Amino acid sequence: MDSAIYQFSAWVVACFFFAAILACWAFGWRSGRHRGPDSGDDPALKFTDASLAILGLLLAFTFAMALGRHDHRRSMVVGESNAIGDFYTCASILRDPQRAALQSLIHAYANHEMHALSRYVSDAEQRELTRESLEMQNRMTALVADAVAQGTPIAISLTNTLNEVTSANASRLAAYEEILPWSILLLLLMAACVPSFLIGRIQGAVGKVHFSGTLSFVVLVTLVIYVTLDLNQGRRGLILVNTASFERLVQSMGAPSIQIPDARH
């Protein structure tokens, strides 16, 4: 269910929220037209205030959750680029031909991960990119194993930095898969529609439409929801994780020196 919802862009879902909230207000206004006006001390008015308070709390909590996930993704991207940089530096201490082969493969791996982060891909494409990353990691493991078998004095450092690269990649992928569950979005939709209906009902009862205030309320709620959803998407939208750390890493590596060897041969 979560993957089905997030196939749509944040603005599409936000437009649905906007239409739903406005429709609930219109339904409430028509409902209020068939009843008399409430007195100022009517206890029913307290439910409108309570529903608005609940909406505010839910907006704040969901926004905080989405922002926290965005910050976590950013830290994972920086951590992965640092791990790849450490592995590249460690590989530079090896002797040729192991050094050139491993550095060339690390350079290609960093390029691969940077391009995977810089554009939106479908679930099928993401699975293919993940498979390619695992293949490159296996080839790096084979090169490290060959260097260790030949008695390199930096076997421990080389192995540790390789482990950091694979662990950082797994952590970054997991961070991008963390999204708000659909149940929270459904609760947020209900929390936005209920006060809109109650406000429309009150306006319909008194026979006076506060169009500018109502539209401002609906637009502001929709904008908050849009930003929350945009932060939550991760791989697309207006608010994306900065990949400058990967770009600097690839630039510092320069051009690969030789063709990448295939460990299967």
DSSP 3-state of 179: coil
Is residue 48 within 8 Å of residue 195, measured between CB atoms?
A: yes
Q: Does residue 257 carry a pLDDT above 70?
A: no
**Does residue 31 surpass a pLDDT of 90?**
no
pLDDT band at 35 (very low <50, low <70, confident <90, very high): low
pLDDT in tens, 65-107: 999 999 999 999 999 999 999 999 999 888 888 889 999 999 9
Determine the pLDDT at residue 122. Answer: 75
- What single-letter DSSP state applies at residue 32? H
Residue 5 pLDDT class (50, 70, 90 cuts): low
Write a three-state SS string for 51-88.
HHHHHHHHHHHHHHHHHHHHHHHHHHHHHHHHHHHHHH
Q: 158-183 burial by CB neighbour count: b if 16+ within 10 A, else e? A: bbebbebbbebbbbbbebbeebbeee
Q: What's the one-letter identity of residue 9?
A: S
* pLDDT bracket for residue 41 (50, 70, 90): low
Backbone angles phi, psi at 119, to 5 degrees: -145, 160
pLDDT band at 181 (very low <50, low <70, confident <90, very high): confident
Domain ranges of the chain: 2-253
**pLDDT surpassing 50 at residue 262:** no
Percent pLDDT > 90 in the chain is 43
